[in-house]
């Protein structure tokens, strides 16, 4: 893990110090997840606690925030690591009784941005630049269940696991450069986690698992982000190639 | 690239990003009851904790439910008495086991101010002395054996050895003979039986599944049934009393249920929640006959005698901080049932299960009283015990004709049997009740409720 992290750091430093065109992105957006197991656990909670007037909703959407970096690798090809934070919440407020299932979700995707219209081009004439993004990474998930603002327990110990699932991702994006140092970025990304085990989530919420609810499940997710982009380096071509000097012709008289 | 082409691509691409999640959702079933098509009528046999809770769950799903109760009251093993000491005292289910249970959640929602963490200290009757836990753990002569016992009691869920009686295991371990009555009290009596009647595999099965927590709670005021009746009034309204079922016929399209007073009820499904002893007695004929493994499971799960004896005193002879006295030869555990409650009455509950209940069962009420008071007098030789006793109330659950005991326990033959007992039969007959809880919560109110939920889900998906 340390080795991979070191390589990643070296790559970022290399790109930052290179003469290439790099971006720093600050993003906000929406993340939606689609899976069955955890929501069945929540639905089981609701089904059993028929005395609660307000049921807990499913875990489905959350705002997300991220910091990203894009560094050019070659003409039309960028490397884009980022750090994304989401917090999914399912909460119910009943009279003198509150229930909250919270899933903090920190992701580190490492992606390649492929600008197919810019391969082999020395410069980009358009300020609107669509691209494909593919990659993968790891997430840190921190599920918590709170009843009346107190963390619940499993086997008499506070339920506060940390889970590190891997994912792969693919999606579409478009950069829009307002000027040479500032722009916008929109991405719509599909993420798939082959397996996430929320260790004892059903016990933490329901206190039992009599009907065999599963805590381990594959998860599909969509994220939509709008970013403000800052260009880090001096004026270079959008494709990453050094701009060619304008040739001045001598006028013959 | 032509900007018009680019814009067109974007317009086509962005909605796709929104469409994908809904497409993904349509590929998987996300609703807990998405498979539930059942819309018929259900008869629940038994108006105890599991029957009432399951009936309420079914009613809330729009199912037509009738609850048939053999006795003249609802509640099953939930029963209290207010006349004995002027405040309600539980004669049946009393303790709330842990914070992570359905029943704790229900009380915490309805009456949070009534939750009373198990009050007072545990005292132990050891070598003819009353000892505190601290004394046992700090006394050089006792601490080793004491620690061993307390540690063993927390490790049954991961027991690695072969099957044997719990008594044999403790004798071999060894737990010292002088600690054996305490072991019987904290291990076996809690499960409603005696050490020699429990099996290590069955105990491991129960302990490994137990997840509701170790903290104990009582109700500061009111009764367990108050909590139920407030939450599940709809189900209670559906109870028909004095209906002793003697036949369940599931051979036709519907289930026909006949009672001893020649009433016949029909429904699409039947949920049987009677105690295991009633199933064992054969008083309910089932058609078509239940499979052999089901019949075997019914016989393999044991339920023993159980008694609660309330003893009222004019003045307390115990110290104010006393919560429980554990390890008596006659009564494995006494607790001060008025501690933490708004009353001037002084009442001890004697909690006797298994062999020790069998021993008291053959005595008259007067003899039971005298035997218990003699034991208490021996524990407090310098105090006036017998003379201070102003009333005794004996509740012998073996005498209840439609219950016949306390609750099921992990006897050796019961290993792996509860899941078979819980299994639906003939697509129309379903089973619930504490004895069908195969998740470690047997013998508890919340375990009974969990089994009611499990059966309700099975019915809705049938």
Domain tally for chain B?
A: 2
Is the complex ipTM more than 0.90? no
Residue pair A214/A192 in contact by the 8 Å Cβ criterion:
no
Q: Retrieve residue B401's tokens.
A: 């004709």
User: What does the alpha-carbon distance between residue A133 and residue A127 come to, in Å, rounded to a whole number?
Assistant: 18
* Angstrom distances, CA of residue B317 to CA of B120, B322, B346, B377, B379: 15, 10, 10, 10, 10
Residues B257 and B395 placed together within one structural domain of the fold:
no
- B35: confidence class by pLDDT, cuts 50, 70, 90: low
Tokens of B201: 């595999």
Phi-psi region of A240 (alpha: psi -120 to 50; beta: other; left: phi over 0): left
Mind telling me how many Å the CA of B34 is from chain A's nearest CA?
11
pLDDT of residue A1: 55
Name every chain B residue with its beta carbon within 8 A of the beta carbon of A207: 98-102, 104-105, 211-213, 446
> Which CATH number does A25-231 carry?
2.40.160.20
Distance CA B348, CA A243 (A): 93
B188 domain residue, yes or no? yes
Measured between beta carbons, which residues in chain B are less than 8 angstroms from residue A40?
Answer: 30, 32
Contacts of residue B252, defined as CB under 8 A and 6 or more positions apart, other chains included, come to none
Identify the domain boundary among B364, B399, B434.
Answer: B399
- The per-residue pLDDT for range B207-220, each reduced to its tens digit, is 999 999 989 999 99
Which of A94, A96, A126 is the closest to B3 by Cβ?
A126
What pLDDT, on the 0 to 100 scale, is given for residue A13? 56
| Judgement on whether residues B153 and B205 belong to the same structural domain of the protein | yes
Predicted pLDDT of residue A253: 45
Q: Which chain B residue shows the shortest CA-CA distance from A146? A: B100
Contact A208 B98 (CB under 8 A): no
Residue B19 has pLDDT above 70, yes or no: no
Return the pLDDT at A156. Answer: 85
Structural domain spans, chain A = 25-231
Shared-domain flag, residues B386 and B421: no
The CB-side HSE value for B398 (13 A sphere, CA atoms) comes to: 17
Distance from CA of B17 to the nearest CA of A (A): 6
Q: If you measure CA to CA, which chain A residue comes closest to B61?
A: A47
The token duo for B275 is 């105690």
Measured distance CA(A62)–CA(A105) in Å, rounded: 10
pLDDT of residue A96: 83
* Mean pLDDT value of segment B424-443: 96
Q: Is residue B236 part of a domain?
A: yes
* Residue B420: inside a domain: yes
Indicate the burial class of A252 (C-beta count within 10 angstroms; 0-12, 13-18, 19 or more). exposed
Q: Is A57 helix (H, G, I), strand (E, B) or coil?
A: coil
Q: Report the range of poorest mean pLDDT among A14-28, B64-78, B305-319.
A: A14-28
Asked which of B351, B378, B399 is the last residue of a domain, the reply is B399
Do B262 and B136 reside in the same domain of the chain?
Answer: no
Q: Which residues of A touch B10 (CB under 8 A)?
A: 128, 130, 174
Q: Are residues B331 and B431 in the same domain?
A: no
- Per residue in A183-211, pLDDT (tens digit) is 999 999 999 999 999 889 989 999 887 77
B448 and B437 inside one domain: yes
Strand partners, A83: A67
Q: Which CATH number is B286's domain given?
A: 3.50.50.60
> Alpha helix locations (H) across B154-199?
166-172, 180-183
The answer to whether position B34 is within a domain reads no
pLDDT in tens, chain A (253 residues): 566 656 656 655 555 555 457 889 999 999 999 878 889 899 999 999 999 999 999 999 999 999 999 988 888 889 999 999 999 999 999 988 999 999 999 999 999 999 988 877 766 667 788 999 999 999 999 999 999 999 999 988 999 999 999 999 999 999 998 887 889 999 999 999 999 998 899 899 998 877 778 888 899 999 999 999 988 765 445 454 555 555 555 554 4
Q: Kindly state the average pLDDT of the residues B431-436.
A: 98
The verdict on B129 and B206 lying in the same domain is: yes
Residue B354 scores a pLDDT above 90: yes
Angle at which helix B445-460 crosses helix A37-48, to 10 degrees, equals 120
The predicted structure's pLDDT at residue A34: 83
Closest CA to A149 of A102, A87, A103: A102
What values do phi and psi take at A116, rounded to 5?
-65, -25
Residues B163 and B159: their CA atoms lie apart, in Å, by 10
pLDDT at position B325 over 50: yes
| Residue of B30, B53, B207, B212 to mutate for A, most A C-beta atoms under 10 A | B30
pLDDT tens-digit map of B174-196: 789 999 999 999 999 999 999 99
Find the domain containing B263 and state its range.
41-76+223-303+406-460
For residue B344, what pLDDT is reported? Answer: 94
- Whether the CB-CB separation of B380 and B312 falls below 8 Å is answered with no
Q: Please state whether B276 falls in left (phi above 0), alpha (psi between -120 and 50) or beta.
A: alpha
Specify whether the CB–CB gap between B93 and B75 falls below 8 A.
no
Tell me whether residues B109 and A39 touch, CB distance under 8 A: no
Mean pLDDT, chain B, as a whole number? 92
Residues B137 and B236 in one domain: no
Q: B318 lies in a domain? A: yes
Q: Which residues pair with A225 in a beta bridge?
A: A29, A187
Task: Identify whether B288 is preceded by a cis peptide bond (ω within 30 of 0).
Answer: yes
B262 and B331 in a common domain: no
Is B25 a domain residue?
A: no
For residue A245, give how far its alpha carbon lies from the nearest alpha carbon of chain B (Å): 23
The answer to whether the CB atoms of B100 and A207 lie below 8 A apart is yes
Per the model's pLDDT, the better-predicted residue between B230 and A8 turns out to be B230
Q: Is B98 among the domain residues?
A: no
Closest partner residue to B100 (CB to CB) among A52, A152, A222 is A152
Determine what percent of chain B is predicted with pLDDT higher than 70: 93
Report how far residue B57's alpha carbon sits from residue B90's, in angstroms, rounded to the nearest whole number.
26
Residue B29 lies in a domain: no
**Which CATH number fits the domain that encloses residue B338?**
3.90.660.10
Final residue belonging to a domain, choices B399, B427, B449: B399
Q: Are A213 and A185 in contact (CB under 8 A)?
A: no
pLDDT at B120 over 60: yes
> B206 and B142: one domain?
yes
Helices (H), B184-284: 200-209, 224-231, 233-237, 276-281
Quick one: closest CA in A to B233, which residue? Answer: A51
Say what the pLDDT of residue A75 is.
84
Asked whether B400 and B432 are in contact (CB, 8 A), the reply is: no
């Amino acid at each position: 893990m340390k080795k991979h992290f070191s390589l990643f750091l070296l790559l970022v430093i290399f790109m930052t110090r290179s003469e290439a065109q790099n971006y720093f992105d600050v993003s906000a957006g929406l993340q939606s997840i689609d899976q069955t197991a955890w929501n069945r656990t929540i639905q089981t909670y609701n089904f059993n606690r028929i005395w609660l007037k307000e049921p807990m909703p499913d875990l489905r959407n959350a705002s997300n925030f991220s910091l990203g970096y894009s560094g050019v690798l070659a003409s039309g090809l960028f490397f884009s690591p980022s750090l994304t934070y989401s917090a999914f919440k399912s909460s119910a407020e009943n009279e003198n009784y509150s229930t909250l299932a919270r899933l903090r979700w920190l992701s580190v995707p490492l992606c390649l941005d492929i600008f197919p219209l810019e391969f082999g081009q020395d410069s980009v004439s358009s300020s609107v630049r669509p691209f494909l993004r593919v990659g993968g990474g790891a997430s840190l998930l921190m599920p918590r269940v709170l009843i009346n603002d107190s963390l619940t327990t499993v086997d008499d110990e506070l339920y506060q696991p940390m889970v590190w699932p891997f994912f792969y991702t693919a999606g579409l994006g478009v950069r829009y450069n307002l000027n040479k140092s500032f722009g916008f970025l929109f991405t719509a990304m599909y993420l798939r986690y082959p397996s996430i085990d929320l260790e004892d989530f059903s016990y933490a919420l329901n206190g039992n698992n009599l009907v065999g609810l599963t805590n381990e499940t594959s998860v599909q997710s969509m994220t939509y982000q709008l970013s403000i982009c800052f260009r880090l380096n001096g004026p270079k071509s959008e494709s990453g190639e050094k701009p060619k000097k304008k040739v001045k012709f001598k006028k013959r008289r | 690239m032509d900007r018009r082409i680019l814009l067109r691509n974007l317009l086509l691409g962005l909605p796709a990003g929104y469409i994908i999640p809904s497409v993904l959702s349509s590929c998987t079933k996300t609703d807990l009851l998405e498979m539930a098509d059942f819309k018929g009528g259900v008869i629940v046999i038994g108006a105890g904790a599991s029957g009432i809770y399951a009936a309420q769950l079914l009613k809330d799903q729009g199912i037509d439910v009738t609850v048939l109760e053999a006795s003249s009251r609802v509640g099953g093993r939930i029963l209290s008495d207010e006349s004995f000491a002027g405040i309600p005292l539980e004669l049946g289910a009393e303790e709330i086991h842990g914070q992570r249970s359905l029943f704790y959640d229900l009380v915490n929602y309805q009456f949070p101010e009534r939750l009373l963490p198990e009050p007072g200290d545990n005292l132990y009757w050891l070598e003819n002395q009353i000892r505190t836990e601290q004394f046992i753990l700090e006394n050089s002569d006792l601490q080793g054996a004491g620690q061993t016992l307390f540690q063993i009691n927390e490790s049954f869920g991961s027991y690695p050895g072969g099957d044997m009686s719990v008594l044999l295991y403790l004798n071999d371990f060894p737990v010292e003979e002088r600690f054996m009555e305490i072991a019987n009290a904290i291990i076996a009596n809690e499960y409603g039986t005696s050490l020699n009647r429990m099996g290590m595999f069955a105990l491991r099965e129960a302990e490994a599944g137990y997840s509701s927590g170790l903290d104990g709670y009582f109700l500061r005021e009111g009764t367990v049934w108050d909590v139920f009746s407030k939450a599940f009034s709809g189900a209670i309204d559906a109870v028909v009393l004095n209906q002793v079922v003697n036949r369940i016929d599931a051979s036709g399209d519907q289930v026909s249920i006949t009672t001893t007073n020649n009433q016949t009820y029909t429904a699409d499904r039947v949920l049987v929640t009677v105690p295991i002893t009633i199933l064992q007695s054969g008083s309910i004929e089932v058609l078509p006959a239940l499979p052999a493994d089901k019949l075997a499971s019914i016989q393999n799960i044991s339920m023993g005698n159980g008694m609660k004896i309330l003893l009222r005193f004019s003045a307390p002879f115990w110290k104010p901080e006393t919560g429980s006295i554990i390890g008596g030869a006659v009564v494995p555990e006494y607790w001060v049932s008025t501690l933490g409650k708004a009353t001037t009455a002084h009442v001890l509950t004697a909690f006797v299960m298994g062999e020790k209940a069998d021993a008291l069962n053959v005595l008259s009420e007067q003899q039971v009283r005298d035997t218990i008071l003699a034991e208490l007098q021996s524990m407090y030789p310098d105090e006036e015990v017998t003379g201070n006793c102003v009333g005794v109330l004996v509740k012998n659950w073996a005498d209840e004709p439609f219950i016949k005991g306390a609750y099921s326990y992990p006897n050796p033959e019961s290993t792996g049997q509860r899941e078979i007992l819980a299994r639906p039969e003939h697509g129309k007959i379903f089973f619930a009740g504490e004895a069908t809880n195969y998740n470690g919560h047997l013998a508890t109110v919340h375990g009974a409720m969990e089994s009611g939920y499990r059966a309700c889900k099975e019915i809705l998906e049938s």
